[in-house]
């Protein structure tokens, strides 16, 4: 997940330390391993998010550049015409399993793409980035099918 043993060892130590300090909060409502997972998950996500805010996350920057000028139109069209619930349904219907997971980890958990690639064990050349690009194109097509806001905006610009 972190991509190097040094930081993974530090994180593992940190997780066990937190577990040890908070052992009293384990009430037995779930398996101990699940409780330990929740600590490890939160700690690792925090670490990866903080890394993403540091300079040098070139893959994510490249992804931003990949987004064309239609991005605003996509978000506006989807936002205007769909409630959160129906937008969830559209995502569910249009994205495949891996795309949905990659998008969730990238946009909700805000993990950098290289971490997602390692986390999900993606073997393709460009890793998670390819799935984000693919998912966004699908969503753009949906926005285009919704049609009128985009076309009217474009025609207004002409």
Tell me how far, at minimum, the Cβ of 87 lies from another protein, in Å: 4
- 1, 69, 100 from 58: Cα distances, Å: 17, 20, 22
Among 47, 48, 59, 103, binds another protein (CB under 8 A): 103
Tell me how far, at minimum, the Cβ of 69 lies from another protein, in Å: 7
Among 46, 58, 75, 152, binds another protein (CB under 8 A): 75
Place of tokens 């693919």: 134
Closest Cα to residue 124, out of 98, 145, 91? 98
The answer to the question of residue 119 lying near another protein (CB under 8 A) is yes
Closest Cα to residue 98, out of 127, 71, 125? 127
Q: What is the 3-state secondary structure (H, E, C) of 77-122?
A: HHHHHCCHHHHHHHHHHHCCHHHHHHHHHHHHCCCCHHHHHHHHCC
Among 49, 81, 94, 120, binds another protein (CB under 8 A): 120
Among 49, 101, 138, 146, binds another protein (CB under 8 A): 101
Among 33, 50, 53, 155, binds another protein (CB under 8 A): 33
Cβ closest to another protein, residue 75 vs residue 152: 75
Cβ closest to another protein, residue 57 vs residue 71: 71
């Amino acid at each position: 997940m972190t991509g190097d043993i040094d930081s993974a060892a530090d994180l593992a130590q940190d997780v066990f330390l937190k577990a040890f300090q908070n052992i009293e909060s384990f009430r037995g409502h779930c398996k101990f391993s699940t409780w330990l997972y929740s600590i490890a998950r939160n700690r690792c996500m925090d670490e990866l998010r903080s890394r993403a805010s540091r300079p040098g996350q070139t893959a994510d920057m490249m992804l931003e550049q990949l987004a064309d000028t239609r991005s605003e139109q996509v978000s506006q069209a989807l936002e205007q015409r769909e409630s959160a619930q129906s937008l969830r349904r559209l995502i569910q219907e249009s994205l495949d399993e891996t795309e949905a997971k990659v998008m969730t980890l990238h946009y909700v958990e805000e993990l950098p793409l290289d971490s997602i690639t390692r986390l999900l064990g993606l073997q393709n050349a460009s890793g998670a980035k390819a799935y984000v690009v693919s998912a966004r194109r699908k969503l753009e097509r949906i926005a285009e099918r919704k049609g009128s806001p985009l076309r009217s905006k474009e025609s207004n610009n002409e």
